[in-house]
Amino acid sequence: MRVWWQSMSAAAHTAGYWPELRKQLQSVAESGTEFDVHGTRVGVVDQHRFFEFLDATSVLANAVQAQRDGYDAFTVGNVLDPGLREIRAMVDMPVLGLGETSMHVACMMGGSFSLIFVNKFFKHRILENVKRYGLEGRLAGFDQIPFDPHAIDRAFLDSAEKERCLGAFIAAARRTIDAGSEVVIPAGGRLISFLEWAGLKEIDGVPVLNGITVLVKMIEMSVKLKHLTGVFVSRHGMYALPPEHLLAKGRDAYRSVYGVDAL
């Protein structure tokens, strides 16, 4: 089984994160499952919607390329799930996102969940997705770790920064636990990878959900379900695939203008 793992960062900006991510992916994957980590073309400014939208075009193009290259599944390894719905409606393989998968699994682990994020600009986008997924009633709280998002990269390499980041996360998580959270979701790939590396599994009996591990196991299950049943995604309604004549028209009109060479 070959799975394309899509990060929203470019390789040049992930010196501390990607090596640890690759190790974690392979440590929890089944024998015979291969995860290939890919970034976006730019992936520099992730704080604002405009640049997130531009980076999402790389994700869409990569999904088409992944299908062409024979991958069995595609994962959006970013808690905002950029391009998730659009990709499902374009490629014929299981496609899962870090945010959606983490939230739904958290609902099977406890009666409520909370989200702890680093980047303050992600707050409203994450909450929009909670509503989109129909899970407002299960969200007990959300909190932010008060430091620069790239402190996580430094924490992999600096012991003092590690302790500072870890302490800040635990304090934020406890605030949401006091508000009623039964499962804590670290809302960010870097943050998840860091907490796994630091060995944090629970706080006061409350699970700290490792979204990377959850996404690995769920995408493996999705591929197996498709093999067993012949289908995984509904093609009636939201995720209906475009007919071939529209694909042909789209290839001619969009390939060169938007740089989607895989079309």
**Residue 18 — pLDDT band, cuts 50, 70, 90?**
confident
Domain co-membership, 92 together with 132: no
Question: Cα separation of 162 and 263, whole Å?
Answer: 43
Tens digits of per-residue pLDDT, 188-216?
A: 988 999 999 999 999 999 999 999 999 99
Domain co-membership, 247 together with 148: no
Strand-pair partners of 186: 116
Domain co-membership, 217 together with 95: yes
Task: Supply the pTM of this predicted model.
Answer: 0.92
Question: Cα separation of 232 and 225, whole Å?
Answer: 7
Domain co-membership, 205 together with 217: no
Q: Are strands 73-76 and 34-38 parallel, antiparallel or unpaired?
A: unpaired
Look up the domain containing 55 and give its range: 2-99+213-258
Reduced to 3 states, what is the DSSP secondary structure of residue 73? strand
Q: 80-101 burial, b if ≥16 CB within 10 A, otherwise e? A: bbbbbeebbbbbebbbbbbbbb
Domain co-membership, 119 together with 206: yes
Whether residue 83 is predicted with pLDDT greater than 80 in this model: the reply is yes
Residue 34 CA: distances (Å) to CA of 136, 215, 228, 235, 254: 35, 14, 20, 27, 31
Quote the tokens at residue 253.
């009109």
Share of the chain above pLDDT 70, in %: 93
User: Can you tell me which residue has the tokens 């299960």?
Assistant: 138
The CATH number that applies at residue 28 is 3.40.50.12500
Rg (CA), the chain: 18
